[in-house]
Structure 1
């Protein structure tokens, strides 16, 4: 005979077992055991061939090859406005979607700080997960360009800026634009007088250079590396504090050339604003394991990237500091909002 007391005890036991099982599986609360449970998309907010695209593809390849993520990972290209078009969609439509991440770099700050083409959204509307690498800017011309060094180019720009077309893979006032005009600004040229043409991604900017539609481009070292190796371009200067190694060992820095300018390009991974603590912890652990892996170290070397890892609070603090620095630069260039 089943008494009310026995029934109540058994029902309580069943409920307790169910709760424990649900907790162990992650349940509706999104515990770490429940995530990730479906394919993950990593967005490169640009066209193919640039630094964001290469970072996203290297990231997903190594995470899969090293078996750090069990789920399928794919890359999507979402060009437009130097990342601003994608970010607007992401912040408004994917703020609770932990299965869509994206890679970014200083433009996520610049687009929010600049006066023209301003984005209302920035890194504070996302969850910064980790900085993975650092790169530097490069001033690049075709291999057969008449400009033998950065000083010759700057002198020509100073004499008549309307005769030289400068291009980059992002919108006016964005990272490639800053890289392109920073040497001119420091050389005493009015940055507003420099004719700048923007393309959607570093790959398109280099194509414009090689096709004769631009005289010089400002881009990142990693995007220029394969073209330098192939003998298709000359790199007149890099924005690092000291000379780089490998294929860039003979390229002078801007400072060496008498132009007092430096610019570091960091690249990192971001998620939606409304991630759970467990989801953030999963990526903190996973991306740290990526950074420590030999496969990733080889990937860095093959792309001429330098490692610089920050996660969680450290990455957020770094972005806070970068925001102050870039606001100062844009203000000096007359481009701050």
Structure 2
């Protein structure tokens, strides 16, 4: 099942040539846009609808940093964290209060679809209440335990859960029925365990879930690969399995996929950027040009590598089509888990 700040925050300074090249490649587009519209005329806010440290937060900060470094956006871009309900709280605010504000964008991923389809704690708002601007990356889920855990493979963990579903506390950075929960319960469901019997504790964002694991308040967490890679490098956690179709590279090259572990399940986490529902054609065209140019810069490619993300750019039109397909797939999964509204 494939479900796919003001600029700062470390990283190497880009070369002057690279920055000028990126700016030059966007210059004709800027000139054309300027003749039709004065947008943008003031600073932008990019919202990560979660706490600091998770995938949304990292994506928003990487995006704004590279857009500033490459001069693709001349206006200041600030990241704001708006946690709550696995993204549902901010989605409600955005869909009702920011429908005509093209200077406030936000980052999201499958929860924007999941929250709108699940039975409990669902959101009346979803991607159709926004203007999807572009998909930027894809990531995968990971089943993670502390470095000193007695579990060294996901099969042993699932066998214990099958014998006693309440034996372990499973944590995730999203509400029940949302993305981290689905990453946690999908392998259990495919292993013949009743997902409703599992002891799942939700946190606002992957960073809080990892803190719960390291603090001894959870035995295992389900999260995204990019959120856990730095803790793996530091020797603080073990990754038992990933939800990709094939083994990943780099620090995760020795981690088996769920399918390798005998569990017929996979889960792709896409990430994209969204604007308000009532964007003008000029405003949408500006972001289509800018985000396409971003995806082709060396600075962005380095940022992807640093965060263990894979590039997967989709234009606004292709992104909307993809989201419609995802809606059907996620609804099928939630229905199978008796979590669909």
Q: 1:246 aligns with which of 224, 247, 250?
A: 250
Distance in 1, matches of 2:233 and 2:62, equals: 20
Structure 1 partner of 2:21? none
Distance in 2, matches of 1:32 and 1:298, equals: 33
Q: 2:92 aligns with which of 88, 91, 96?
A: 88
1:66 matched to 2:70? The reply is yes
1:121 matched to 2:128? The reply is no
Moved over 2 A (4+): 30-33
How does 1:294-333 map onto structure 2 within 5 Å?
Answer: 294-333=298-337
Structure 2 partner of 1:4? none
- TM (norm. structure 1) is 0.91
Distance in 2, matches of 1:206 and 1:64, equals: 30
1:289 matched to 2:293? The reply is yes
State the 1:42 CA deviation: 0.2
Distance in 2, matches of 1:169 and 1:120, equals: 21
RMSD: 1.3
Q: 1:332 to 1:70 in 2, by over 3 A?
A: same
Q: Is contact 1:131-1:308 (8 Å) kept? A: yes
Count how many residue pairs are aligned between Structure 1 and Structure 2. 311
Question: Which stretches in structure 2 are left out of the alignment for 5+ residues?
Answer: 1-30
- TM (norm. structure 2) is 0.90
Q: 1:219 aligns with which of 212, 218, 223?
A: 223
Structure 1 partner of 2:112? 108
- Residue by residue over 1:266-312, the C-alpha shift from the partner in whole angstroms, topping out at 9 and shown as x without a partner, is 00000000000000000000000000000000000000000000012
1:274 matched to 2:274? The reply is no
How does 1:1-337 map onto structure 2 within 5 Å?
Answer: 32-337=36-341
Distance in 2, matches of 1:322 and 1:135, equals: 15
- Residue by residue over 1:137-178, the C-alpha shift from the partner in whole angstroms, topping out at 9 and shown as x without a partner, is 000000000111000000110111112000000110000000
State the 1:33 CA deviation: 3.3
SS of 1:47 mapped into structure 2:
coil
Distance in 1, matches of 2:337 and 2:245, equals: 21
Distance in 1, matches of 2:163 and 2:319, equals: 43
State the 1:25 CA deviation: 11
Q: Is contact 1:95-1:274 (8 Å) kept? A: yes
Q: Is contact 1:116-1:173 (8 Å) kept? A: yes
SS of 2:93 mapped into structure 1:
helix
Q: Is contact 1:32-1:279 (8 Å) kept? A: no
